[in-house]
């Protein structure tokens, strides 16, 4: 090591430790503890009456509903926006959440049509059927009113469904040891390699939390860590991130089908194995390591129980409130938002604005270009793009689930062949006309109604199926500016080609459903753009590539921006999915409050665990 570099490394290390100590241990927090008051309420019976639910979830925007003296405005009511608003409310802040859709919840909302109810984004969530830190957090922001139903022990199944060949099925079990044992039975020649991969997963998981500290330390310090490699003294997360999932699996595992199984659920973050860094895949496996759950009563229960918490401190969650611009004062500080109201607009003022609209919408649509392009975060767009577009197919079946030969409380990941990375990349690079003549390579198949213990109380004698896959936005971009449900016969015809192709493939796996299909609704990437304001029809925000999680980009994608008064929340700040966006909301709330709320949550979690242990002994 050159002697001139040593003082720089020592200084950087000292800076890291000083900042960490000041921020997380010794700094006196100026804001109230949002986890101070513990809720001990019992879970109340579910509200089934839709009018009562709509009074909470569909409060339309109007001037007279805007609270006075707002502390903050949140753009978007996904779980990232709602969790931030709820924590700020718990700290005594008055927050207004604005949602452009006609109901709150983002990807946690549901829709009802022709006597069927479908969730649009919640299929299964890890860490909720036991008292994890995440569950303690969710319990707190819902006042303990959100209940969870566990899925089966083998909650996922990987199926290779090649045409005219026998199906090859591989169960995925909760519990690392049980899943590993199952894999070893199927692939006895790979026993040592399976152990090696699971060991790598443990190593990545242990280092992941430390990697998040770069979102809070000064960027000059991050630049030193990046230039010198000093970050590797604190975490090896970024070393692993430099390796793709495909690279590691190719190096560790000999059998191609086993490689595919070990990255089967890359669809949960949308990035093929040759483009995603290893941590994204291994952390996903860790998230489901102890199993998974589904919200009792359906996905809309999430927003339904968070909104009253926001209202406790005088806040509101209002829908049909499309934010057109983030407002800045003469000094360049955020001072509110401009909301579209019919053919006109109105300004809503607050000293802080928190965007759950995603970094693309925030910086390329809501902010003035000259302001956005001068921000340090603008450089992220050089290496990060929106994730792939998504197609969802919602199917109503006119009989109870018990009369069908389907899976209850579990999911299927069906692939048209093995080498799933190549399958995905080849498909996404096809023209629309080419893709019309091949099978859909990846389909997530789920029967949501079988996961919800409350389903039969609302919809007896009916069953729902959901199919999800990825398709390029460009296949449907010709209709991006057309009105929803009025895009014309050509659009309807094309989306049916792909939607019914997916249904036909599901019928190969579950033939009993074929004669009971009563309802079909197909959502394309332009559907997603309309309902959840996804710029390219994606459902996971920024593509989860290794570049997105590089040290510098991970540091730039932080809650507090360099635009005074502007904060970011949701999945672009942390990672995708319910839990990723939830923790993005947590990080944002901590930044707004300038408080180490992880310590506050940890204290509460210990109290909850202790009380549960005492009750168990009694």
Would you state the pLDDT for residue 484? 86
List, in sequence order, every beta strand (DSSP E) within 463-594.
Answer: 463-470, 517-523, 566-568
Strand 517-523 versus strand 334-341 pairing type = unpaired
pLDDT confidence bin for 485, thresholds 50/70/90: confident
Across 600-618, average pLDDT: 82
Taking CA 431 as the corner, what is the angle to CA 428 and CA 433, rounded to the nearest 5 degrees? Answer: 125
* Beta-carbon contacts of residue 578 (< 8 Å; ≥ 6 apart): 79, 107, 108, 121, 122, 125
Helices H, strands E: what count in the chain? 22, 20
Q: Please check whether residue 113 is in contact with residue 326, taking contact to mean a CB–CB distance below 8 angstroms.
A: no
Which has the closest alpha carbon to 137: 570, 613, 603, 572? 603
Instruction: Give the per-residue pLDDT at 210.
Output: 84
Q: What is the mean pLDDT of residues 80-107?
A: 97
CA angle 557, 563, 564 (to 5 degrees): 120
User: CATH top-level class for 31-143+299-375+563-617?
Assistant: alpha beta
User: pLDDT value at position 280?
Assistant: 95
Q: What's residue 21's pLDDT?
A: 46
Name the band, by pLDDT with cuts 50, 70 and 90, for residue 11. Answer: very low
At 24, the pLDDT band (50, 70, 90 cuts) reads very low
- Per DSSP, the three-state class of 270 is coil
- Long-range CB pairs of 54-59, under 8 A, 24+ apart, other chains included: 54/103, 56/104, 56/303, 56/304, 56/307, 56/308, 57/103, 57/104, 57/105, 57/109, 57/300, 57/303, 57/304, 57/307, 57/319, 58/102, 58/103, 58/104, 58/319, 59/104, 59/316, 59/317, 59/318, 59/319
**What is the full DSSP assignment across 195-211?**
HHHHHHHHHHHHHHHHH
Q: What is the pLDDT of residue 176?
A: 87
Write the pLDDT tens digit of every residue in 33-81: 999 998 888 889 999 999 999 999 999 999 999 999 999 999 999 999 9
- Cα distance between residue 500 and residue 509, in whole Å: 14
Residue that the structure tokens 């009380």 belong to: 611
Residue 117 has pLDDT above 80, yes or no: yes
Q: Residue 439: is its pLDDT beyond 50? A: yes
Which range is least confidently modeled, 13-17, 27-31, 161-165? 13-17
Give the pLDDT band of residue 616 (cuts 50, 70, 90): low
> Are 464 and 116 within 8 A, CB to CB?
yes
Mention every residue, 6+ apart, whose C-beta is less than 8 A from residue 526: 473, 476, 477, 479, 480, 482, 487, 537
pLDDT bin (cut points 50, 70, 90) of residue 612 is confident
Counting residues of the chain whose pLDDT is more than 70, the rounded percentage is: 94
What is the tens place of the pLDDT at every residue in 338-390?
999 888 999 999 999 999 999 999 999 999 999 999 999 999 999 999 999 99
What is the spatial distance between Cα 72 and Cα 349, in angstroms, rounded to a whole number? 9
Q: Report residue 5's pLDDT band, with 50, 70 and 90 as the boundaries.
A: very low
Q: What is the mean pLDDT of residues 180-203?
A: 96
Average of per-residue pLDDT across 435-445? 97
DSSP E strand stretches across 216-352:
292-295, 316-318, 323-328, 334-341, 344-349
pLDDT of residue 615: 60
pLDDT above 70: residue 27: no
Question: What average pLDDT does the segment 228-242 reach?
Answer: 92
Q: Which of 380-389, 442-451, 477-486 has the lowest mean pLDDT?
A: 477-486
Degrees to nearest 5, angle at CA 532 with 531 and 536:
105
pLDDT for residue 277 is more than 60:
yes
Q: Is the pLDDT of residue 161 over 80?
A: yes
Supply the pLDDT for residue 487: 93
Banded pLDDT at 31 (limits 50, 70, 90): confident
Closest C-alpha among 420, 395, 403, 532 to residue 460:
403
Distances (CA, A) of 317 to 106, 177, 577: 12, 44, 21
pLDDT at residue 6, as a whole number: 40
Alpha helices in 291-414 (DSSP H): 300-311, 359-361, 369-372
pLDDT value, residue 62:
96
**Residue 276, helix vs strand vs coil:** coil
Of the pLDDT bands very low, low, confident and very high (cuts 50, 70, 90), residue 19 is: low
Six-digit token string for 269: 């973050």
- Where is pLDDT greater, at 179 or 23? 179
Of 340-344, 407-411, 466-470, 505-509, which gets the smallest average pLDDT?
340-344
Residue 406 has pLDDT above 80, yes or no: yes
In angstroms, the CA 23 to CA 213 distance is 10
Q: How does 258-278 read in b/e, with b if 16+ C-beta sit within 10 Å? A: bbbbbbbbbbbbbbbbbbbbb
What DSSP string runs through 123-188?
S-EES-SS--HHHHHHHHHTTT---EEE--SS-EEEEE--TTS--EEEEE-SSHHHHHHHHHHH-G
Q: What distance in Å separates the CA atoms of residue 22 and residue 595, rounded to the nearest whole number? A: 11
Cα 203 to chain center, whole Å? 23
| Inter-CA distances, 162 with 159, 438, 442, 581, 595, Å | 9, 12, 11, 35, 53
* DSSP code at position 244: B
Mean pLDDT of all residues in 444-472: 97
Residue 611: band (very low, low, confident or very high) from pLDDT cuts 50, 70, 90: confident
The DSSP letter of residue 32 is -
pLDDT over 60 (residue 83): yes
DSSP-derived pairing of the beta strands 125-126 and 292-295: antiparallel
Helix boundaries (H) for 429-547 = 432-435, 455-458, 489-509, 525-532
Instruction: Give the end-to-end CA distance of the chain in Å, rounded to a whole number.
Output: 61
- Confidence at 617, pLDDT banded by 50, 70, 90: low
Entry pTM:
0.94
Q: Please state, rounded to an integer, the average pLDDT across all residues of the chain.
A: 93
Q: Does residue 488 have a pLDDT over 90? A: yes
Name which of 25-29, 90-94, 284-288, 458-462 the model is least confident about. Answer: 25-29
Residue 226 reports pLDDT greater than 70: yes
Contact assessment for residue 491 and residue 523, using Cβ atoms and an 8 Å cutoff? no
Give the torsion sign (CA, 446, 470, 287, 289). Answer: positive
Paired strand residues for 444: 413, 468
Q: What is the pLDDT of residue 479?
A: 96
Q: What distance lies between CA 393 and its chain's CA centroid?
A: 19
- Predicted pLDDT of residue 22: 46
In which band, very low, low, confident or very high, does the pLDDT at 614 lie, cut at 50, 70 and 90? low
CA nearest to 117, candidates 420, 521, 482: 521
- SS3 state at 551: helix
CATH 3.50.50.60 residue ranges of the chain are 31-143+299-375+563-617
């Amino acid at each position: 090591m050159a002697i001139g570099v040593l003082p720089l490394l020592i200084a950087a290390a000292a800076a890291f430790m000083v900042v960490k100590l000041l921020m997380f241990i010794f700094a006196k927090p100026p804001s109230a503890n949002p986890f101070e008051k513990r809720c001990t309420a019992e879970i109340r019976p579910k509200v089934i009456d839709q009018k009562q639910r709509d009074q909470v979830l569909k409060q339309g925007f109007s001037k007279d509903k805007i609270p006075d003296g707002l502390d903050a405005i949140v753009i978007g009511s996904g779980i990232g926006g709602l969790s931030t608003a709820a924590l700020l409310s718990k700290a005594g802040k008055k927050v207004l959440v604005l949602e452009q859709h006609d109901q709150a919840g983002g990807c946690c909302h549901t829709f009802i049509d022709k006597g069927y109810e479908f969730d649009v984004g919640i299929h299964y969530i890890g860490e909720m059927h036991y008292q994890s830190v995440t569950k303690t957090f969710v319990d707190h922001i819902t006042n303990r009113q959100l209940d969870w139903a566990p899925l089966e022990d083998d909650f996922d199944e990987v199926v290779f469904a090649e045409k005219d060949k026998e199906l090859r099925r591989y169960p995925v079990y909760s519990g690392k040891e049980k899943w590993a044992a199952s894999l070893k039975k199927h692939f006895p020649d790979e026993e040592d390699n399976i152990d090696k991969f699971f060991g790598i997963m443990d190593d990545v998981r242990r280092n992941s939390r430390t990697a998040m500290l770069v979102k809070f330390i000064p960027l000059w310090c991050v630049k030193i860590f990046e230039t010198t490699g000093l970050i590797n003294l604190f975490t090896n997360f970024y070393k692993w991130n430099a390796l793709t999932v495909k690279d590691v699996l190719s190096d560790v595992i000999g059998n191609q089908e086993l490689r595919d199984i070990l990255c089967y659920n890359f669809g949960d973050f949308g990035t093929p194995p040759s483009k995603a860094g290893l941590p994204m895949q291994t952390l996903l496996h860790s998230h489901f390591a102890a199993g998974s759950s589904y919200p009792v009563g359906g996905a809309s229960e999430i927003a339904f129980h968070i909104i009253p918490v926001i209202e406790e401190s005088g806040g509101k969650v209002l829908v049909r409130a499309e934010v057109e611009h983030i407002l800045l004062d003469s000094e360049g500080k955020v001072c509110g938002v401009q909301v579209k109201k019919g053919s006109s607009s109105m300004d809503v003022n607050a000293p802080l604005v928190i965007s759950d609209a995603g970094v693309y919408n925030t910086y390329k649509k809501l902010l003035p270009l000259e302001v956005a392009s001068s921000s340090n975060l603008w450089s992220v767009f050089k290496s990060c793009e929106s994730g792939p577009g998504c197609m969802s197919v919602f199917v109503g079946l006119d009989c109870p689930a018990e009369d069908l030969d389907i899976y209850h409380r579990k999911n299927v990941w069906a692939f048209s062949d093995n080498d799933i990375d190549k399958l995905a990349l080849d498909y996404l690079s096809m023209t629309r006309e080419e893709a019309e003549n091949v099978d859909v390579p990846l389909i997530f198949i789920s029967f949501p109604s079988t996961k919800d213990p409350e389903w039969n109380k609302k919809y007896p004698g009916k069953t729902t199926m959901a199919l999800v896959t990825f398709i390029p936005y460009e296949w449907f971009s010709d209709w991006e500016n057309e009105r929803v449900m009025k895009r014309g016969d050509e659009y309807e015809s094309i989306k049916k080609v792909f939607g019914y192709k997916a249904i036909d493939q599901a019928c190969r796996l579950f033939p009993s459903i074929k004669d009971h299909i009563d309802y079909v609704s197909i959502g394309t990437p332009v559907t997603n753009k309309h309902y959840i304001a996804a710029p390219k029809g994606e459902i996971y925000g920024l593509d989860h590539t290794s570049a997105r999680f590089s040290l510098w980009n991970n540091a730039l994608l932080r809650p507090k921006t360099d635009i005074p008064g502007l904060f970011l929340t949701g999945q672009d700040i942390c990672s995708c999915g319910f839990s990723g966006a939830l923790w993005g909301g947590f990080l944002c709330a901590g930044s707004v409050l300038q408080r180490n709320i992880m310590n506050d949550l940890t204290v509460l979690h210990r109290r909850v665990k202790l009380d549960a242990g005492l009750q168990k002994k009694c």
